[in-house]
């Protein structure tokens, strides 16, 4: 029996959480679910989007399946997702992007894994605003230290964000990517960076990537500048296997790679640390569809399969993924977004697609 925290989220979260729970249970693996809340709904009642009891549940159980949670844009509370990763030190974000027959895409046979550093970089949240006098002094200090062209600003207020990249954090995540490659019989790791411009932060990332790669002579290693990597993925994604990236680049490129395989609706994710793991869909909470029993549950169900693999329930994980793939390939009991015509009246709802997956199991 496994004790697992189920965070139901907000927006469409509760619907796809229930669908995913039923599919995991249908594999036969015994799970005791500890259902917890997070997001805007609990924020409205309790004044916090992440109650202490939810965080403590994840700490205790060490495994969680988390439905999407809304993050306000520009104002309001910081991302609950980022908070969870930092509070639990879930330093490795793993996002497989895999083609499934029946999912509409211009690409076929994609099988990429993004390994994203989860706790540092610009997502560390070290940022502040400076008024006119403070801005002038700050720019003056930067210009005194800079050997390159001088920075100028005419703004009365300047926003400043700090980009920490550490030896420990970088070594840890690149090592994780190579260990993942070995464990899953992958052949190549590509480190993504912008070291040609950010020589102290991304430069450190690249240097440490090369040092770690030297310890894994059985796995091919290369590096790519992030903007070139975006072009490469669009033009020839078949050349790539595992990508390891700093936090911001990993967030952006994981959406790009999801686009290669048909969208965020089929993109699962895992956040893994030394003392816990949280599994979640890559997509957001889509509040406009709340309560409509309409959205595609595939991404969170596949995240449940990742969770089963993490628990070493490999047969159950494989059976669940095969059941999802079979339902998608048939194209009959799928949600509207997976139909050739999005107005197709034969499209089923969230719970009915879960029923079809369970029937396949």
Residue 12 phi, psi (nearest 5): -80, -5
**pLDDT the model gives residue 159:** 75
**Full pLDDT tens readout for the chain, 361 residues:** 999 999 999 999 999 999 999 999 999 999 999 999 998 888 889 888 889 999 999 999 999 999 999 876 444 556 778 888 888 999 999 999 999 999 999 999 999 999 999 989 887 767 666 565 665 666 666 666 555 555 555 555 667 788 999 999 999 999 999 999 999 999 999 999 999 999 999 999 999 999 999 999 999 999 999 999 999 999 999 999 999 999 999 999 999 999 999 999 999 999 999 999 999 998 989 999 999 999 999 999 999 999 999 999 999 999 999 999 999 999 999 999 999 898 999 999 999 999 999 999 9
Please name the residues in contact with 9: beta carbons below 8 A apart, sequence gap of 6 or more.
17, 38, 39, 66, 67, 68, 69, 285
Q: Clarify whether residues 116 and 238 are in a common domain.
A: yes
**pLDDT the model gives residue 62:** 97
How many domains are there within the chain?
Answer: 3
Closest among 203, 249, 198 to 226, alpha carbons compared: 249
194 assigned to active site: yes
Q: Give the CATH number for residue 8.
A: 3.40.718.10
**pLDDT the model gives residue 147:** 55
Which alpha helices (DSSP H) does the chain contain, by range? 13-26, 40-46, 52-61, 80-87, 132-145, 167-183, 202-213, 226-235, 247-260, 298-310, 314-330, 350-360
Q: Clarify whether residues 245 and 115 are in a common domain.
A: yes
Predicted model pTM: 0.88
Q: Does residue 229 lie within any of the structural domains?
A: yes
Q: Does residue 105 lie within any of the structural domains?
A: no
CA distance 87 to 49: 14
Indicate the angle between helix axes 314-330 and 350-360, nearest 10 degrees: 120
315 assigned to active site: no
**pLDDT the model gives residue 161:** 82
Q: Does residue 33 lie within any of the structural domains?
A: yes
CA distance 27 to 95: 22
Look at residues 229, 260, 291 and tell me which one is the last residue of a structural domain: 260
Q: What is the three-class DSSP state of 134?
A: helix
**pLDDT the model gives residue 141:** 62
Q: Clarify whether residues 115 and 235 are in a common domain.
A: yes
Look at residues 207, 238, 260 and tell me which one is the last residue of a structural domain: 260
CA distance 20 to 302: 8
Q: Clarify whether residues 224 and 358 are in a common domain.
A: no
Q: Does residue 201 lie within any of the structural domains?
A: yes
Q: Does residue 290 lie within any of the structural domains?
A: yes
Range of the domain at 175: 111-123+164-260
Q: Clarify whether residues 26 and 137 are in a common domain.
A: no
Q: Clarify whether residues 54 and 67 are in a common domain.
A: yes
Q: Does residue 101 lie within any of the structural domains?
A: no
Q: Clarify whether residues 57 and 146 are in a common domain.
A: no
Residue among 130, 194, 294, 360 flagged as catalytic: 194
Q: Clarify whether residues 118 and 232 are in a common domain.
A: yes
Please name the residues in contact with 151: beta carbons below 8 A apart, sequence gap of 6 or more.
139, 142, 143
Q: Clarify whether residues 197 and 324 are in a common domain.
A: no
Q: Clarify whether residues 225 and 303 are in a common domain.
A: no
Q: Clarify whether residues 169 and 308 are in a common domain.
A: no
Q: Give the CATH number for residue 241.
A: 3.40.50.2300
Look at residues 260, 288, 322 and tell me which one is the last residue of a structural domain: 260
Residue among 199, 215, 227, 344 flagged as catalytic: 227
Q: Does residue 19 lie within any of the structural domains?
A: yes
Q: Does residue 321 lie within any of the structural domains?
A: yes
Q: Clarify whether residues 61 and 152 are in a common domain.
A: no
Residue among 251, 333, 355, 360 flagged as catalytic: 251
Residue among 91, 100, 123, 176 flagged as catalytic: 123
């Amino acid at each position: 029996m496994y004790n697992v925290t189920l965070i139901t989220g907000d927006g469409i979260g509760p619907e796809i959480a229930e669908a995913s729970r039923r599919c995991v249970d249908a594999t036969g693996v015994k799970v005791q679910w500890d259902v917890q809340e997070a997001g805007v709904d609990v924020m409205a009642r309790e004044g916090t989007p992440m109650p202490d009891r939810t965080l403590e549940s994840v700490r205790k159980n060490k495994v969680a399946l988390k439905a999407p949670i809304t993050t306000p844009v520009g104002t309001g509370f910081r991302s609950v997702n980022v908070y969870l990763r930092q509070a639990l030190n879930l330093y490795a974000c793993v996002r497989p992007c895999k083609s499934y027959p029946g999912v509409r895409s211009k690409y076929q046979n994609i099988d990429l894994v993004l390994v994203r550093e989860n706790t540092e970089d610009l997502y560390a949240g070290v940022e502040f605003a400076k008024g006119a006098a403070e801005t002038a002094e700050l720019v003056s200090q930067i210009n005194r230290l800079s050997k390159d062209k001088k920075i100028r600003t005419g703004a009365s207020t300047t926003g400043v964000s700090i980009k920490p990249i550490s030896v420990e954090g970088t070594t840890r995540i690149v090592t994780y990517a190579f260990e993942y490659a070995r464990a899953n019989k992958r052949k190549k790791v590509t480190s993504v960076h912008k070291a040609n411009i950010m020589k102290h932060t991304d430069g450190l990332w690249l240097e440490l990537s090369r040092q770690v790669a030297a310890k894994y002579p059985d796995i091919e290693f290369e590096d790519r500048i992030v903007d070139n990597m975006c072009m490469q993925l669009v033009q020839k994604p078949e050349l790539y296997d595992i990508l390891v990236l700093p936090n911001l680049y990993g967030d952006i490129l994981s959406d790009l790679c999801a686009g290669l395989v048909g969208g965020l609706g089929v993109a699962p994710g895992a956040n893994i640390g030394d003392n816990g793991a949280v599994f979640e869909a890559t997509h957001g909470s889509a509040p406009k569809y709340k309560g409509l029993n309409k959205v595609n549950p595939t991404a969170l169900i596949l995240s449940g399969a990742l969770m089963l693999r993490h628990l070493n329930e490999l047969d159950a994980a494989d059976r669940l993924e095969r059941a999802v793939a079979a339902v998608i390939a048939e194209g009959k009991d799928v949600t509207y977004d997976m139909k050739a015509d999005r107005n197709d009246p034969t499209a089923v709802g969230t719970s009915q697609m879960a029923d079809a997956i369970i029937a396949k199991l």
